[in-house]
Amino acid sequence: MAFFVPSHSRPECHVTSNVVLMTTSAAVPTGSEGAIAQGAHVTDRLVEANQRYAEAFTDPGMDARPVLHVAVVACMDARLDLHKALGLQLGDCHTIRNAGGVVTDDVIRSLTISQRKLGTRSVVLIHHTGCGLEALTEDFRTELEMEIGQRPAWAVESFRDVDQDVRQSMQRVRTSPFLLHTDDVRGFVFDVRTGRLREVDPA
């Protein structure tokens, strides 16, 4: 399915439409520029990359309010390059990610702040095929309790039917008493093999 979203190219926000074809290319460059030195920490590599980024950085002059007034809730899976895949630029949206992209109390907290204090009105929910949560159960909490002597207070939020979990997430957003805008809530499944979004019928 093609998913159309507006985007902008300049601060004055001339709006165009972009067809979403999600890419999953997360390959680390090969050769010397992509190699991590023996014994080096990955974090060191990230810090070095930031130094190069900062040298060319210029303040875009934006405030904290997303230009497109949209919040995207998605899985933390490294194969989802949300900004590139959705045709989004810096400042366009709020991005909220967790394991599974499920709507938890903390996601509601972020969405509430996003809507009430920073002006977003639309919510896009993105799950994906081959999610790690499909291989887990709530027994994971029991395993942790047996290992460390303390049971986590949080739920694993595992699932077997990705479409049904998207529907559950949409329902949690739409029924939250804390959110001001629940009329434009749409859910999708990202196919990790094709890179495309498929919209889930909320019914």
Question: What pLDDT, on the 0 to 100 scale, is given for residue 12?
Answer: 43
Question: What pLDDT, on the 0 to 100 scale, is given for residue 20?
Answer: 40
Own/partner long-range contacts of 163-172 (Cβ < 8 Å, ≥24 apart): 163/189, 163/200, 165/100, 165/102, 165/127, 166/125, 166/127, 166/200, 167/200, 167/202, 168/102, 168/103, 169/73, 169/101, 169/102, 169/103, 169/125, 169/127, 170/125, 170/200, 170/202, 171/202, 172/103, 172/108
pLDDT > 70: percent of the chain: 80
The model's pLDDT over 96-114, given as tens digits with 9 standing for 90+, comes to 999 999 999 999 999 999 9
Q: Determine the average pLDDT of the residues in 139-159.
A: 94
Question: Pick from 57, 68, 62, 60: which is nearest to 8 by CA?
Answer: 68
Question: How far apart, in whole angstroms, are the C-alpha atoms of residue 156 and residue 203?
Answer: 25
Q: Determine the average pLDDT of the residues in 153-160.
A: 92
The model's pLDDT over 16-58, given as tens digits with 9 standing for 90+, comes to 333 344 344 444 444 444 555 555 699 999 999 999 999 999 9
Task: Count Cα atoms within 13 angstroms, Cβ side, for 120.
Answer: 26
Going by pLDDT thresholds of 50, 70 and 90, the confidence category of residue 203 is confident
Question: What pLDDT, on the 0 to 100 scale, is given for residue 37?
Answer: 52
CB-based contact 200:166 (threshold 8 Å)? yes
- Read off the amino acid at residue 45: R
Beta strands (DSSP E) in 77-195 are 93-98, 122-128, 185-190
Question: What pLDDT, on the 0 to 100 scale, is given for residue 15?
Answer: 37
